[in-house]
Amino acid sequence: MVRAAVLPAVNAPLVVADIELPEPGPGQVRVRIAAAGVCHSDLSLSNGTLRQPAPAVLGHEGAGTVVAVGEGVGHVAPGDPVVLNWAPACGSCHFCALGEPWLCAEAGAAAARPYATLLGDGSAVHPGLGTAAFAEETVVAASAVLPLPDGVPLTDAALLGCAVLTGYGAVHHSAGVRGGESVAVYGVGGVGLAVLQSARIAGAGQIIAVDVAPAKEELARAAGATDFVVSGDDTAKHIRRLTGGHGADVAVECVGRADTIRAAWSSTRRGGRTTVVGIGGQDQQVTFSALELFYFGRTLSGCVYGNCDPSHDLPLVAEHVRAGRLDLSAMVTDRIGLDDIPAAFEAMTSGRGGRSLVVF
Protein backbone atom coordinates (compact mmCIF):
# COMPACT_ATOMS: atom_id res chain seq x y z
CA MET A 1 0.00 0.00 0.00
CA VAL A 2 1.33 3.40 -1.05
CA ARG A 3 0.00 6.88 -0.31
CA ALA A 4 -0.39 9.01 -3.43
CA ALA A 5 -2.02 12.16 -4.80
CA VAL A 6 -4.54 10.85 -7.34
CA LEU A 7 -6.22 12.80 -10.15
CA PRO A 8 -9.67 11.10 -10.37
CA ALA A 9 -10.57 12.78 -13.66
CA VAL A 10 -9.47 15.72 -15.81
CA ASN A 11 -10.28 19.02 -14.06
CA ALA A 12 -11.14 17.22 -10.83
CA PRO A 13 -9.40 18.07 -7.54
CA LEU A 14 -6.51 15.83 -6.51
CA VAL A 15 -7.33 13.29 -3.80
CA VAL A 16 -4.77 11.76 -1.46
CA ALA A 17 -5.51 8.03 -1.45
CA ASP A 18 -3.91 4.63 -1.03
CA ILE A 19 -2.89 2.67 -4.13
CA GLU A 20 -1.52 -0.83 -4.59
CA LEU A 21 1.70 -1.20 -6.60
CA PRO A 22 2.76 -4.49 -8.18
CA GLU A 23 6.24 -5.87 -7.71
CA PRO A 24 8.57 -4.78 -10.54
CA GLY A 25 8.41 -7.09 -13.53
CA PRO A 26 11.14 -7.73 -16.10
CA GLY A 27 12.83 -4.47 -17.08
CA GLN A 28 11.15 -2.50 -14.27
CA VAL A 29 12.36 -0.70 -11.14
CA ARG A 30 10.55 0.20 -7.92
CA VAL A 31 11.64 3.53 -6.41
CA ARG A 32 10.94 5.07 -3.01
CA ILE A 33 10.45 8.75 -3.77
CA ALA A 34 12.47 11.22 -1.70
CA ALA A 35 11.05 14.35 -3.32
CA ALA A 36 9.04 15.47 -6.34
CA GLY A 37 8.87 18.92 -7.88
CA VAL A 38 5.50 20.45 -8.73
CA CYS A 39 5.85 21.43 -12.38
CA HIS A 40 3.52 23.46 -14.59
CA SER A 41 3.26 20.40 -16.82
CA ASP A 42 1.50 18.59 -13.95
CA LEU A 43 -1.03 21.42 -13.87
CA SER A 44 -1.43 21.11 -17.65
CA LEU A 45 -2.08 17.37 -17.28
CA SER A 46 -4.67 17.97 -14.57
CA ASN A 47 -6.65 20.55 -16.57
CA GLY A 48 -6.54 18.75 -19.91
CA THR A 49 -4.06 21.01 -21.73
CA LEU A 50 -1.90 17.89 -22.06
CA ARG A 51 -3.54 14.51 -22.52
CA GLN A 52 -3.36 12.03 -19.67
CA PRO A 53 -5.66 9.04 -19.00
CA ALA A 54 -7.26 9.14 -15.56
CA PRO A 55 -7.40 8.18 -12.76
CA ALA A 56 -3.72 9.03 -12.60
CA VAL A 57 -0.93 9.79 -10.18
CA LEU A 58 0.80 12.88 -11.52
CA GLY A 59 4.34 14.07 -10.80
CA HIS A 60 7.24 13.57 -13.20
CA GLU A 61 10.11 15.52 -11.62
CA GLY A 62 11.40 13.20 -8.94
CA ALA A 63 14.31 11.50 -7.25
CA GLY A 64 14.50 8.62 -4.82
CA THR A 65 16.09 5.33 -3.85
CA VAL A 66 15.75 2.01 -5.65
CA VAL A 67 13.76 -0.49 -3.58
CA ALA A 68 13.67 -3.44 -5.94
CA VAL A 69 14.50 -4.31 -9.55
CA GLY A 70 12.98 -6.76 -12.00
CA GLU A 71 14.69 -9.34 -14.13
CA GLY A 72 17.19 -7.99 -16.63
CA VAL A 73 17.90 -4.68 -14.84
CA GLY A 74 21.62 -4.17 -14.38
CA HIS A 75 22.41 -0.45 -14.33
CA VAL A 76 20.84 0.16 -10.88
CA ALA A 77 20.42 -1.95 -7.75
CA PRO A 78 18.45 -1.67 -4.49
CA GLY A 79 19.79 1.18 -2.40
CA ASP A 80 20.98 3.26 -5.37
CA PRO A 81 19.90 6.92 -5.52
CA VAL A 82 18.25 7.75 -8.84
CA VAL A 83 16.57 10.55 -10.81
CA LEU A 84 13.38 9.84 -12.73
CA ASN A 85 13.42 10.39 -16.49
CA TRP A 86 9.88 11.15 -17.68
CA ALA A 87 10.83 10.87 -21.38
CA PRO A 88 13.05 7.80 -21.76
CA ALA A 89 14.13 7.28 -25.36
CA CYS A 90 13.56 3.93 -27.04
CA GLY A 91 16.77 4.19 -29.06
CA SER A 92 15.29 2.73 -32.22
CA CYS A 93 12.54 5.02 -33.57
CA HIS A 94 13.01 7.52 -36.41
CA PHE A 95 13.93 10.39 -34.09
CA CYS A 96 16.32 8.37 -31.95
CA ALA A 97 18.04 7.24 -35.13
CA LEU A 98 18.49 10.92 -36.03
CA GLY A 99 20.21 11.54 -32.70
CA GLU A 100 17.21 13.44 -31.27
CA PRO A 101 16.14 11.33 -28.26
CA TRP A 102 14.11 14.21 -26.81
CA LEU A 103 11.64 13.67 -29.68
CA CYS A 104 11.40 9.89 -29.22
CA ALA A 105 8.11 8.59 -30.61
CA GLU A 106 7.77 6.06 -27.78
CA ALA A 107 8.74 8.28 -24.84
CA GLY A 108 5.15 8.82 -23.68
CA ALA A 109 3.90 5.26 -24.11
CA ALA A 110 4.08 4.36 -20.40
CA ALA A 111 1.56 7.05 -19.44
CA ALA A 112 -1.17 5.24 -21.37
CA ARG A 113 -0.73 1.95 -19.48
CA PRO A 114 -2.19 1.40 -15.97
CA TYR A 115 0.52 0.73 -13.41
CA ALA A 116 -1.35 0.44 -10.10
CA THR A 117 -4.81 -0.02 -8.59
CA LEU A 118 -6.82 2.19 -6.29
CA LEU A 119 -7.54 0.54 -2.95
CA GLY A 120 -11.23 0.34 -2.23
CA ASP A 121 -12.72 -0.05 -5.70
CA GLY A 122 -9.78 -1.57 -7.58
CA SER A 123 -9.81 1.07 -10.33
CA ALA A 124 -6.83 1.02 -12.66
CA VAL A 125 -4.48 3.97 -12.10
CA HIS A 126 -2.21 5.47 -14.77
CA PRO A 127 1.25 6.98 -14.15
CA GLY A 128 1.42 10.69 -14.99
CA LEU A 129 3.97 11.11 -17.79
CA GLY A 130 4.96 7.52 -17.10
CA THR A 131 6.56 8.26 -13.71
CA ALA A 132 3.85 8.98 -11.06
CA ALA A 133 6.16 10.78 -8.63
CA PHE A 134 3.39 12.24 -6.42
CA ALA A 135 3.47 9.06 -4.36
CA GLU A 136 5.60 7.48 -1.68
CA GLU A 137 6.79 4.88 -4.19
CA THR A 138 6.47 4.18 -7.92
CA VAL A 139 7.24 1.45 -10.42
CA VAL A 140 8.75 2.54 -13.73
CA ALA A 141 10.62 1.13 -16.70
CA ALA A 142 14.34 0.71 -16.09
CA SER A 143 14.99 3.26 -18.84
CA ALA A 144 13.13 5.84 -16.74
CA VAL A 145 15.69 5.83 -13.92
CA LEU A 146 19.07 7.53 -14.12
CA PRO A 147 21.78 6.90 -11.51
CA LEU A 148 22.30 10.05 -9.44
CA PRO A 149 25.92 11.21 -9.66
CA ASP A 150 27.82 11.52 -6.38
CA GLY A 151 27.79 14.81 -4.51
CA VAL A 152 24.22 15.89 -5.32
CA PRO A 153 21.71 15.98 -2.42
CA LEU A 154 18.97 13.41 -3.07
CA THR A 155 16.02 15.65 -2.18
CA ASP A 156 17.11 18.61 -4.30
CA ALA A 157 18.08 16.21 -7.09
CA ALA A 158 14.39 15.89 -7.96
CA LEU A 159 14.71 19.21 -9.81
CA LEU A 160 17.21 17.62 -12.19
CA GLY A 161 14.43 15.45 -13.60
CA CYS A 162 12.67 18.28 -15.40
CA ALA A 163 13.25 21.95 -14.53
CA VAL A 164 17.04 21.89 -14.50
CA LEU A 165 17.61 19.67 -17.54
CA THR A 166 14.99 21.66 -19.46
CA GLY A 167 16.46 25.03 -18.49
CA TYR A 168 20.06 23.94 -18.99
CA GLY A 169 19.27 22.43 -22.38
CA ALA A 170 17.26 25.45 -23.52
CA VAL A 171 20.34 27.61 -22.99
CA HIS A 172 23.12 25.26 -24.10
CA HIS A 173 21.39 23.18 -26.78
CA SER A 174 18.35 24.95 -28.21
CA ALA A 175 19.38 28.61 -27.96
CA GLY A 176 23.14 27.97 -27.99
CA VAL A 177 23.92 30.97 -25.78
CA ARG A 178 27.48 32.22 -26.27
CA GLY A 179 29.69 34.14 -23.89
CA GLY A 180 28.89 37.87 -23.75
CA GLU A 181 25.43 37.56 -25.33
CA SER A 182 22.34 39.16 -23.81
CA VAL A 183 19.50 36.86 -22.76
CA ALA A 184 15.90 37.71 -21.86
CA VAL A 185 14.08 35.07 -19.79
CA TYR A 186 10.29 35.20 -19.71
CA GLY A 187 8.82 33.56 -16.60
CA VAL A 188 10.61 33.13 -13.27
CA GLY A 189 9.17 29.76 -12.27
CA GLY A 190 11.15 26.57 -11.79
CA VAL A 191 12.31 26.30 -15.40
CA GLY A 192 12.91 30.05 -15.66
CA LEU A 193 15.18 29.95 -12.61
CA ALA A 194 17.13 27.09 -14.20
CA VAL A 195 17.43 29.12 -17.43
CA LEU A 196 18.75 32.13 -15.50
CA GLN A 197 21.41 30.05 -13.74
CA SER A 198 22.33 28.28 -16.98
CA ALA A 199 22.67 31.58 -18.85
CA ARG A 200 25.06 32.76 -16.15
CA ILE A 201 27.03 29.49 -16.47
CA ALA A 202 27.17 30.03 -20.26
CA GLY A 203 28.79 33.43 -19.68
CA ALA A 204 25.93 35.64 -20.83
CA GLY A 205 26.82 39.30 -20.45
CA GLN A 206 23.34 40.64 -19.67
CA ILE A 207 20.54 38.49 -18.27
CA ILE A 208 17.10 40.09 -18.15
CA ALA A 209 14.36 38.34 -16.16
CA VAL A 210 10.72 39.09 -17.03
CA ASP A 211 7.75 38.18 -14.85
CA VAL A 212 4.29 39.48 -13.96
CA ALA A 213 5.12 39.35 -10.24
CA PRO A 214 7.41 42.14 -8.96
CA ALA A 215 8.06 40.05 -5.85
CA LYS A 216 10.12 37.62 -7.94
CA GLU A 217 12.88 40.16 -8.60
CA GLU A 218 14.99 39.07 -5.63
CA LEU A 219 14.63 35.41 -6.63
CA ALA A 220 15.60 36.22 -10.22
CA ARG A 221 18.64 38.28 -9.30
CA ALA A 222 19.86 35.56 -6.94
CA ALA A 223 19.71 33.14 -9.88
CA GLY A 224 21.83 35.40 -12.07
CA ALA A 225 19.59 38.11 -13.53
CA THR A 226 21.33 41.46 -14.05
CA ASP A 227 18.02 43.22 -14.79
CA PHE A 228 14.36 42.62 -13.94
CA VAL A 229 11.34 43.74 -15.93
CA VAL A 230 7.74 43.53 -14.77
CA SER A 231 5.80 42.10 -17.70
CA GLY A 232 3.37 44.45 -19.43
CA ASP A 233 2.29 45.78 -22.82
CA ASP A 234 5.64 47.51 -23.37
CA THR A 235 7.92 44.66 -22.26
CA ALA A 236 9.61 44.24 -25.65
CA LYS A 237 10.29 47.99 -25.91
CA HIS A 238 11.70 48.00 -22.37
CA ILE A 239 14.11 45.19 -23.22
CA ARG A 240 15.23 46.94 -26.39
CA ARG A 241 16.00 50.05 -24.32
CA LEU A 242 18.02 47.95 -21.88
CA THR A 243 20.05 46.48 -24.76
CA GLY A 244 21.07 49.64 -26.54
CA GLY A 245 18.00 49.76 -28.76
CA HIS A 246 18.82 46.52 -30.56
CA GLY A 247 17.06 43.87 -28.49
CA ALA A 248 18.40 40.78 -26.74
CA ASP A 249 20.54 38.27 -28.61
CA VAL A 250 18.43 35.46 -27.16
CA ALA A 251 14.99 35.20 -25.56
CA VAL A 252 13.77 32.10 -23.72
CA GLU A 253 10.02 31.88 -23.13
CA CYS A 254 9.07 29.69 -20.15
CA VAL A 255 5.36 30.51 -19.85
CA GLY A 256 3.57 29.01 -22.83
CA ARG A 257 1.26 31.91 -23.68
CA ALA A 258 0.74 33.51 -27.05
CA ASP A 259 1.34 37.03 -25.71
CA THR A 260 4.62 36.15 -23.99
CA ILE A 261 5.87 34.17 -27.00
CA ARG A 262 5.11 37.17 -29.19
CA ALA A 263 6.80 39.55 -26.72
CA ALA A 264 9.87 37.30 -26.49
CA TRP A 265 10.15 37.27 -30.28
CA SER A 266 9.73 41.06 -30.48
CA SER A 267 12.32 41.68 -27.76
CA THR A 268 15.16 40.02 -29.67
CA ARG A 269 17.44 41.86 -32.08
CA ARG A 270 17.54 41.39 -35.84
CA GLY A 271 19.04 37.95 -36.30
CA GLY A 272 18.23 37.05 -32.70
CA ARG A 273 17.02 33.70 -31.41
CA THR A 274 13.84 32.89 -29.48
CA THR A 275 13.41 29.51 -27.79
CA VAL A 276 9.97 28.51 -26.53
CA VAL A 277 10.04 26.19 -23.53
CA GLY A 278 6.58 26.90 -22.09
CA ILE A 279 3.74 24.54 -22.97
CA GLY A 280 0.60 26.32 -24.13
CA GLY A 281 -2.83 25.17 -25.23
CA GLN A 282 -4.10 24.78 -28.78
CA ASP A 283 -6.06 28.00 -28.38
CA GLN A 284 -2.85 30.01 -27.90
CA GLN A 285 -2.27 31.24 -31.45
CA VAL A 286 0.82 33.35 -32.28
CA THR A 287 0.86 35.44 -35.46
CA PHE A 288 3.65 37.04 -37.50
CA SER A 289 3.57 39.04 -40.70
CA ALA A 290 5.43 37.75 -43.71
CA LEU A 291 7.31 41.04 -43.94
CA GLU A 292 8.66 40.96 -40.39
CA LEU A 293 9.82 37.37 -40.81
CA PHE A 294 11.94 38.55 -43.73
CA TYR A 295 13.08 41.86 -42.25
CA PHE A 296 14.13 40.76 -38.76
CA GLY A 297 15.72 37.45 -39.77
CA ARG A 298 15.03 36.03 -36.32
CA THR A 299 14.91 32.35 -35.43
CA LEU A 300 11.99 30.89 -33.46
CA SER A 301 12.34 27.34 -32.15
CA GLY A 302 10.49 24.97 -29.87
CA CYS A 303 12.29 23.09 -27.13
CA VAL A 304 11.33 19.68 -25.74
CA TYR A 305 12.97 18.64 -22.45
CA GLY A 306 15.76 21.10 -23.21
CA ASN A 307 16.66 19.11 -26.35
CA CYS A 308 18.64 16.99 -23.90
CA ASP A 309 19.88 13.45 -23.82
CA PRO A 310 19.47 12.97 -20.05
CA SER A 311 22.00 10.15 -19.81
CA HIS A 312 24.63 12.47 -21.31
CA ASP A 313 23.56 15.80 -19.81
CA LEU A 314 22.78 14.74 -16.23
CA PRO A 315 26.46 14.13 -15.33
CA LEU A 316 27.38 17.53 -16.85
CA VAL A 317 24.72 19.31 -14.82
CA ALA A 318 25.72 17.40 -11.68
CA GLU A 319 29.28 18.68 -12.10
CA HIS A 320 27.97 22.25 -12.12
CA VAL A 321 26.08 21.45 -8.89
CA ARG A 322 29.17 20.00 -7.21
CA ALA A 323 31.29 22.97 -8.30
CA GLY A 324 28.79 25.43 -6.83
CA ARG A 325 27.90 26.96 -10.18
CA LEU A 326 24.32 25.65 -10.05
CA ASP A 327 22.36 26.01 -6.81
CA LEU A 328 19.43 23.59 -6.68
CA SER A 329 18.18 24.58 -3.22
CA ALA A 330 17.90 28.23 -4.28
CA MET A 331 15.25 27.20 -6.81
CA VAL A 332 12.96 25.72 -4.15
CA THR A 333 10.55 28.30 -2.76
CA ASP A 334 8.32 25.89 -0.79
CA ARG A 335 8.80 22.43 0.67
CA ILE A 336 5.39 20.81 0.99
CA GLY A 337 3.49 17.55 1.49
CA LEU A 338 1.09 15.67 -0.78
CA ASP A 339 -1.91 17.51 0.67
CA ASP A 340 -0.41 20.85 -0.36
CA ILE A 341 -0.14 20.14 -4.11
CA PRO A 342 -3.50 21.81 -4.98
CA ALA A 343 -2.30 25.02 -3.33
CA ALA A 344 0.93 24.79 -5.34
CA PHE A 345 -1.17 24.42 -8.53
CA GLU A 346 -3.12 27.53 -7.55
CA ALA A 347 0.12 29.47 -6.96
CA MET A 348 1.38 28.52 -10.45
CA THR A 349 -1.93 29.56 -12.01
CA SER A 350 -1.70 32.98 -10.38
CA GLY A 351 1.99 33.41 -11.20
CA ARG A 352 3.26 33.19 -7.62
CA GLY A 353 6.25 31.27 -6.34
CA GLY A 354 9.16 29.47 -7.95
CA ARG A 355 9.34 25.69 -7.45
CA SER A 356 7.39 23.78 -4.82
CA LEU A 357 9.00 20.51 -3.76
CA VAL A 358 6.98 17.65 -2.28
CA VAL A 359 9.25 16.09 0.32
CA PHE A 360 8.50 12.61 1.65
What mean pLDDT value characterizes the chain? 95
pLDDT higher than 70, residue 353: no
Q: Which CATH architecture has domain 2-148+328-359?
A: Alpha-Beta Complex (3.90)
DSSP 99-113: T-GGG-TTTTGGGGS
CA distance 82 to 105: 24
Q: Please give the average per-residue pLDDT across 112-123, as a whole number.
A: 91
The predicted model scores a pTM of: 0.94
Q: What are the extents of the domains in the chain?
A: 2-148+328-359, 167-304
Share of the chain above pLDDT 90, in %: 91
Q: What is the pLDDT of residues 236-245, one digit of tens each?
A: 999 999 999 9
Over pLDDT 70: what percentage of the chain? 100
Query: Which has the closest alpha carbon to 190: 215, 155, 165?
Result: 165
- Taking residues 33-38, report their average pLDDT: 97
- Fold held by 167-304: Rossmann fold (3.40.50)
312 to 60, 112, 165, 308, 318: CA distances (angstroms): 19, 27, 11, 8, 11
Of 119, 148, 144, the C-alpha closest to 133 is 144
